């Protein structure tokens, strides 16, 4: 169990990640929330967290798009390789 403190509240979480990775993520969260709090001083903690969740969601969507493009590239390469193999086999006969 890992113990984290975010915006003054303590959380105990169980993660499959190594402790050093959980610590890295925790530091990243705290840093970003601090930056958002400075950028938007009139917002309360909930609003700051909502902004952070929106940012994370945007990152996830961007990563999904990138993954989709890369998967498409790999599939195209596999298709080309398959056709080349067929062509080679046909020429060998």
pLDDT in tens, 9-40: 999 999 999 999 999 999 999 999 999 999 99
What pLDDT was estimated at residue 16?
94
45 φ, ψ (degrees, to nearest 5):
-60, -40
Q: What is the pTM of this model?
A: 0.76
Burial status of residue 6 (CB atoms within 10 A of its CB: 0-12, 13-18, 19 or more)? middle
């Amino acid at each position: 169990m890992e113990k984290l403190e975010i915006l003054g509240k303590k959380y105990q979480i169980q993660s499959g990640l190594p402790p050093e990775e959980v610590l890295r993520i925790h530091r990243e969260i705290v840093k970003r929330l601090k930056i958002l709090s400075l950028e938007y001083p009139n917002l309360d903690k909930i609003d700051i967290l909502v902004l952070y969740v929106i940012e994370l969601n945007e990152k996830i969507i961007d990563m999904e798009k990138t993954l989709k493009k890369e998967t498409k590239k790999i599939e195209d390469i596999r298709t080309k390789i398959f056709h080349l193999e067929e062509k080679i086999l046909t020429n060998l006969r």
